[in-house]
Amino acid sequence: MNHGNHTPRHVPVLLTRADEILGPALASGGILIDATLGLGGHSEHFLRTYPDIRLVGLDRDTTALRLAGERLAPYADRITLVHTRYDGIPAALEQAGLPATGSVRAVLMDLGVSSMQLDESDRGFAYSVDAPLDMRMDPTTGITAADILNTYDHGDLARVLKTYGDERFAGKIASAVLRRRQQKPFTHSAELVELLYATIPAATRRTGGHPAKRTFQALRVEVNRELESLEAALPAALDALEVGGRIVVMSYQSLEDKVVKQVLAQRTASRTPMDLPVELPGMGPEFAMLTRGAEKATEREIEENPRAAPVRMRAAERITGEESR
């Protein structure tokens, strides 16, 4: 979810490819949902390129909304910006005066942590900078990473690290966290990084990337309820599309991509029983895939924008509407 101003570090990810996929649905106007607005890099491009579209932009981060609003000010009469998580699509459409189903031409979901959040040193997302252990994408509500480290029991903490970070030393790290917090509660990221260096074996540290990467990812996903939000957001996004409408989803970790793959597989599958020779009326696939598997960034794009390296893009088009179901 790498949006932002026009500096090299804020290049919107897979912008050309997203335009190739969503452009045909937007050429004659209609509604675009940017469910992860960030700093508005993708949205600015689409508003500039397709003068007849209207944008409904969502973000849980109030700072991002303010900055995106400033960036998109030239298009103020064509945008509705809503402070909500991406699973708030139905309410956002209602706020924009639109039905929650069948009213949208295109949806863009660029998941994960934004460039702005990584670059703001006081948010605690980056393990390379000492900062308060917050990690909330919406800093106005919810638990922080410090709350998790200081209150979760061993089993829950190990589960979070293993499930959301694929951390092989999850149990060992959880034990070390519980010992450390008895002496002094965690407040800053450097304290956690120091503990991880001391806990993860040296051989793994030499070959497995930064020892804090997986733990920081796991805490961020838990703090922001990212997977639960995605599991609710995707069906709402698909339901919002009209026939011919298209969706692009960009994931940055395997758990996100797995959810996207499963939901799209369900909606692109026939519901006619396998043993019947013909498709039953109203039981055909609702969507058709527009990508073969998950598309990745090119070497050139990664060179221009290193944060594009892990991206996986999937896209689909609605081919039947409610009336045929």
User: Among the three residues 224, 252, 274, which one is the final residue of a domain in this structure?
Assistant: 224
**Residues 6+ positions from 210 with CB-CB distance below 8 Å:** 127
Q: What is the pLDDT of residue 91?
A: 94
User: Are 30 and 50 in a shared domain?
Assistant: yes
Let me know if residue 25 belongs to a domain.
yes
Q: What angle do CA 308, 311, 315 make, to 5 degrees?
A: 125
Question: Is pLDDT at 4 greater than 50 in this prediction?
Answer: no
User: Among the three residues 177, 192, 224, which one is the final residue of a domain in this structure?
Assistant: 224
Q: What angle do CA 247, 30, 22 make, to 5 degrees?
A: 30
Asked whether residue 52 is marked as a ligand-binding residue, the answer is no
User: Are 127 and 274 in a shared domain?
Assistant: no
Asked whether residue 197 is marked as a ligand-binding residue, the answer is no
In this prediction, residues 81-93 reach a mean pLDDT of: 94
User: Are 127 and 220 in a shared domain?
Assistant: yes
Q: What is the pLDDT of residue 47?
A: 98
Let me know if residue 196 belongs to a domain.
yes
Q: What is the pLDDT of residue 42?
A: 95
Let me know if residue 3 belongs to a domain.
no
Q: What is the pLDDT of residue 6?
A: 36
Find where tokens 């998109």 sit. Answer: 72
**How confident is the model over 98-112, as pLDDT tens digits?**
999 999 999 999 997
**How confident is the model over 194-218, as pLDDT tens digits?**
999 999 988 777 776 788 989 999 9
Asked whether residue 19 is marked as a ligand-binding residue, the answer is no
In which domain, by residue range, is 234 found? 8-116+226-324
User: Are 198 and 268 in a shared domain?
Assistant: no
Beta strands in the chain (DSSP E): 30-34, 53-59, 79-83, 104-110, 241-251, 287-289, 312-318
**How confident is the model over 29-75, as pLDDT tens digits?**
999 999 999 999 999 999 999 999 999 999 998 888 999 999 999 99
Let me know if residue 236 belongs to a domain.
yes
**How confident is the model over 113-133, as pLDDT tens digits?**
665 555 556 667 778 889 999
User: Are 241 and 105 in a shared domain?
Assistant: yes
User: Are 76 and 217 in a shared domain?
Assistant: no
pTM attached to this predicted model: 0.86
Q: Is 30 helix (H, G, I), strand (E, B) or coil?
A: strand
Number of domains in the chain: 2
Asked whether residue 40 is marked as a ligand-binding residue, the answer is yes
User: Are 200 and 211 in a shared domain?
Assistant: yes
Buried b (16+ CB within 10 A) or exposed e, 236-263: bbbbbbbeebbbbbbbbbebbbebbbeb
**How confident is the model over 259-312, as pLDDT tens digits?**
999 999 999 998 777 777 766 677 779 999 999 999 999 999 999 888 889 999
User: Are 63 and 106 in a shared domain?
Assistant: yes
**How confident is the model over 167-176, as pLDDT tens digits?**
999 999 999 9
User: Are 136 and 254 in a shared domain?
Assistant: no
Asked whether residue 95 is marked as a ligand-binding residue, the answer is no
Q: Is 306 helix (H, G, I), strand (E, B) or coil?
A: helix
Percent of the chain with pLDDT over 70: 90
Let me know if residue 1 belongs to a domain.
no
Q: What is the pLDDT of residue 119?
A: 56
Q: What is the CATH number of the domain that holds 245?
A: 3.40.50.150
User: Among the three residues 204, 224, 244, which one is the final residue of a domain in this structure?
Assistant: 224
CA distance 224 to 164: 12
User: Are 200 and 236 in a shared domain?
Assistant: no
Q: What is the CATH number of the domain that holds 175?
A: 1.10.150.170
Question: Is pLDDT at 152 greater than 90 in this prediction?
Answer: yes
User: Are 195 and 295 in a shared domain?
Assistant: no
Let me know if residue 102 belongs to a domain.
yes
